[in-house]
Structure 1
């Protein structure tokens, strides 16, 4: 079974460099009922990044790849198709 390890302290203190959303096309998908990252925050991030496409799954929570795999796959395919043209 897959497990998640605790976050290392270095991951919280390490600088990340230039934000990729400033120079690369961004695609956003999130659930309207996410209790980890509020939908308003996700919406703000999508707008700030000038997301090419934003998908909001009504009633969904944080783990969209588990609860809504088809929608997540579709957005990934859209993003991949846009860079392969």
Structure 2
């Protein structure tokens, strides 16, 4: 949806939501998620964010193997650039990783929290 400032609010089309965003969630969950999704603004793709925290703060990186929104090689690049102390690719997981694999995400957070 175009906005007056030249940016746009972007949604994932409901008919494509399951396949492209959350293939490993139930059809019932996806229908709810697709219908209630919040938009993101295109400015998020172009505006700077300031000094990245990963330059001064230790980081850990978990990402889904089958994300169709962000390529796995982009995740790998970001993890390497950040000097991630640990990197985990979750097999078979979609972009909706925290919803589809909550235990894997929670375990990884606990691992990171216990690291130092």
Class of the TM-score when normalised by the shorter of the 2 chains: 0.7 to 0.9
Question: Which residue does the alignment assign to 1:6?
Answer: 39
Cα root mean square deviation, aligned: 2.1
Match of 1:59 among 84, 92, 102: 92
Alignment correspondent of 1:47 = 80
Higher RCO, 1 vs 2 (CA within 8 Å, ≥6 residues apart): 1
TM-score (norm 1): 0.80
Bigger Rg, which one = 2
Residue ranges of structure 1 left out of the alignment (5+ in a row): none
Shift of 1:66: 1.0
| Count, aligned residues | 83
